[in-house]
Structure 1
Amino acid sequence: MTEPGADPEVAAVRSFWQGLGLPGLYDVHVHFLPENVQRKVYAQFDEAGPRIGRAWPIRYRGTHDERVAHLRELGVRRFPTLPYAHRPGIASYLNGWARDFAADKPDCLWSATCYPEPEAAAYVAELVADGVEIFKVHVQVGEFHLDDPLLDPVWGTLADAGTPVVVHAGSGPVGNAFTGPEPLHRVLRRHPRLTAVVAHLGAPEYAEFVSLAERFERVHLDTTMVFTDFFDVEAPVPSEVIARLGDLRPKVLLGSDFPTIPYPYAHQLEGLVRAGFDDDWLRDVCWHNGVRLLGPADPR
């Protein structure tokens, strides 16, 4: 393992959070998947497949152990696995794998997913009763409606429990009939206390998803990939949205999309600074909000 500070990337990330007086970073948008599924995901990015739409060279391709070690070197003290079901019948497999993966890693959030299928209400209720910490759904990949009737009891269970769900609902990188703010809005009208974390600030429909966070008490946003050069080429965050994010400081969470990013981890943090957010905002977004929403990090 690289000694902290020996690698320029590690040094840059650690300097960022140390300069803010933080114990590390709380990253709510990290992916770990079973090897067979991970290979297929990488292939989609390598081929710039129809859900990707552009060249997307993945920077971090190590083994699971190597990637966990790298996050720890960077000072990421808490992270999820965020599996996401892309078809019926796979959610239980992903959930079992994610449960086992987190079992011996105190800094890894126990994550799960669901899909609109008859079994969803039962397995989500069981996971919540057992103590699962966070869910992920990805409608752009899964191609399903968030307000599918089969998911209605799922949202009710999660709303009652307060269990957060990271929702990729924005139309980036390539929109389809299932993306955009309105499906989530319909779910929230029915389940207004659902704790939803909108991935990627809802890119590119930033303003609309920010409005949902302003309107609904438990809607949050994550910073995943926004404010980076890679996203700014096609979907820069408007200045008026940046101003509104300042007022939404308690509801914004750091996300990275590690390992499936085409730039160094530090670049996401540099982008937050470049956007003009002050140190108090950065402290809350990069640490305190995650602790408040998902619990303390494992002390190291």
Structure 2
Amino acid sequence: MGDDAADPATDTFVAHRNLLFTVAYEMLGSAADAEDVLQETWLRWVDVDLAQVRDRRAYLVRITTRQALNRLRTMTRRKEAYIGPWLPEPLLTASDVAQDAELAESVSMALMLVLETLSPTERAVFVLREAFDVSYDEIATAVDKSPAAVRQIAHRARKHVDARRPREVVSPRETRAVLESFRRALATGDLQGLLDVLAPEVVMLNDGGGVKQAARRPVVGADRVARFIISTASRHEAVLTGHLTLVNGSPALLVRLDGENDGVMAVRVEDAGITGIYYVRNPEKLTRVEFETPLTLR
């Protein structure tokens, strides 16, 4: 393909790249796999006759969805062999993501974990319909189903997600306030301070991927979670500190042991208390917390 013919394809792809990455990431929960999907999408896109394409954005989303679905089915087998809980790959995000409530909610760690409980097709349909407002007809083309079947899948997926998503949407300011109290207690090893911000039924998931030491089962209950966190520092004979940042559109903590990056703690806050802690320590999943990743629903 000559340069003149390639330019329109390149310009269109670049214009929608952040959107396509967001679609792939919400479907996969992995930035690395989302980037691979974008590469596969590009290789197919450059072979498309643009004169036959009525809506280039929709066409690109369709290609991305199909490639992400293929990858998601492969990842399902990979996750089954994963050591300990599997958590989405955290992304350092800019303040504009946090200010877009719809976008921030769609990429939140809490919701991304709920999406993990859907089948690949259910997840694709839910993401395209709920986050990106894609029409049922367009989704049907992307997932190779009839529009009627897609409507049923969307209804089933929405019902499943609604039953498991946070009961309330907490503002970034409220989350930041709770996290600040949590951070101070973490820095001083204050057991009571941790208990004060943890909900009685709090659940902590630790993702070490078999590379970093981490609990292989959920830690449940405020007392157990607080003692687990404090024992982490004492076990390593190190100073454990947290630094406020924005991850997946929400306030989170970049955790350091003796000044070295150790992981990311994202939280789920309800009724002014932390009901979920998602601690990603697997080094392979921390490459995206050193620079901001642009995300968009449009």
TM range (shorter): under 0.3
Between structures 1 and 2, the one with greater strand share: 2
TM-score (norm 1): 0.25
Between structures 1 and 2, the one with greater helix share: 2
TM-score (norm 2): 0.25
